[in-house]
């Protein structure tokens, strides 16, 4: 199969072997004579699929199933923007604003209760990760967004000495780098960046945290984390096929090892940023502070929007490099190089960028 160089920010590139396993399962799952999409979610065969995916997620994160629970839900991270505060915002919540998705999370939380933004990088168009902030010890939780897909920043290290429950939206860099996941009380991640296709969201909850949720009276049942936990992610019919693909991706991550995946991501992003830094300003990374540059979403500009448009068109025409256009809200160019993006793709992109600079 002649694959395109897919630099999409999401839905994004998946490992080839995961696609191959899925293509077979779509036709005939394990010789059962039916597709994974046709199986009852109540069957013992599908129960094994979801249970294995849950167990593998905790294995990757080095978390105990005695302390943490994995949910697979619908609605994307956008539903979690509201579902999280709906369950846990009693007094007030602390948020750190690092971009568009953090801003959306804040707006949804404000519909539930009091939100205090304790730090923000909005002052410079979200091109850095705030380092100086004071956490309110009486807040119900602190929320961060670990990777900024639109502006290209990333929390490379976990916040230290957080005196309240720590919550994170890890949608776009889940399992891209090693983290101390035990520092977090709740993590949510839309799958369509690094761990699977669109249609399912993973939520990892510390069991002791769920007991702190607020009293929910006359509430929509679908918004209750505890109800979903008690029903093993099957309060309603789950997104069966996406969960299967996520489970296969977890197998791929376990086989390669999170340490090696992190090393690959550091190398891919490093050679691309280094090339641009050495281009005498021809290619301009939007994030100047190297420690804050995203390993997943490399955002940059050329001299003019017209030159950027030519760059994107030429990349598609000459090398079938797709989805290099920056987010519609900021423009520019963006190369999303998630876990499954081979280093050869990045090397080919750099070679194209070198030739384009010479010709233009």
**Which residues are catalytically annotated?**
101, 169, 193
What is the number of alpha carbons within 13 Å of residue 133 lying toward its C-beta?
Answer: 25
**CA-to-CA distance for 213 and 208, rounded, in angstroms?**
10
Crossing angle between the packed helical segments 100-110 and 76-88, to the nearest 10 degrees: 40
Crossing angle between the packed helical segments 240-256 and 16-27, to the nearest 10 degrees: 140
The 3-class SS string of 278-290 reads: CCCCCCEECCCCH
Q: Measuring CA to CA, which residue among 258, 253, 356, 239 is closest to residue 309?
A: 356
Decide if 121 contacts 128 (C-beta within 8 A).
yes
Distances from the Cα of 282 to the Cαs of 68, 140, 335, in angstroms?
47, 46, 16
**CA-to-CA distance for 102 and 104, rounded, in angstroms?**
5
Task: Locate 23 and state its tokens.
Answer: 């293509």
């Amino acid at each position: 199969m002649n694959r395109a160089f897919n630099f999409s920010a999401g839905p994004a590139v998946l490992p080839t072997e995961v696609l191959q396993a899925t293509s077979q399962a779509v036709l005939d799952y394990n010789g059962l004579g039916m597709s994974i999409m046709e199986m009852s979610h109540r069957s013992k065969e599908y129960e094994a699929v979801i249970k294995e995916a849950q167990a593998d997620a905790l294995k990757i994160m080095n978390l105990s199933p005695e302390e943490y629970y994995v949910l697979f839900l619908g609605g994307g991270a956008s539903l979690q923007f509201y579902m999280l505060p709906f369950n846990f915002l009693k007094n007030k919540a602390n948020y750190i604003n690092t971009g568009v998705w953090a801003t959306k999370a804040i707006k949804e939380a404000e519909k539930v209760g009091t939100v205090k933004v304790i730090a923000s990088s909005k002052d410079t168009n979200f091109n850095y990760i705030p380092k100086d902030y004071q956490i309110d010890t009486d807040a119900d939780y602190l929320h961060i967004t670990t990777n900024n897909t639109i502006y290209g920043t990333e929390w490379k290290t976990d916040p230290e000495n957080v005196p309240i429950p720590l919550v994170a939206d890890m949608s776009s860099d889940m399992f891209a780098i090693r983290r101390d996941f035990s520092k977090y009380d709740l993590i949510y991640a839309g799958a369509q960046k690094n761990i699977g296709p669109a249609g399912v969201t993973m939520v990892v909850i510390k069991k002791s945290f769920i007991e702190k949720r607020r009293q929910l009276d006359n509430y929509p049942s679908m918004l209750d984390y505890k109800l979903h936990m008690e029903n093993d992610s099957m309060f309603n019919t789950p997104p069966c096929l996406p969960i299967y693909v996520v489970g296969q991706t977890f197998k791929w991550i376990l086989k390669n090892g999170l340490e090696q995946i992190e090393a690959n991501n550091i190398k891919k992003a490093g050679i691309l940023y280094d090339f641009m830094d050495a281009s005498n300003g021809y290619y301009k990374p939007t994030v100047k502070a190297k420690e804050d540059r995203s390993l997943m979403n490399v955002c940059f500009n050329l001299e003019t929007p017209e030159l950027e448009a030519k760059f994107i068109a030429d990349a598609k025409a000459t090398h079938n490099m797709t989805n290099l256009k920056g987010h519609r809200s900021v423009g520019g160019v963006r190369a999303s190089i998630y876990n499954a993006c081979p280093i050869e793709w990045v090397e080919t992109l750099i070679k194209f960028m070198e030739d384009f600079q010479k010709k233009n």
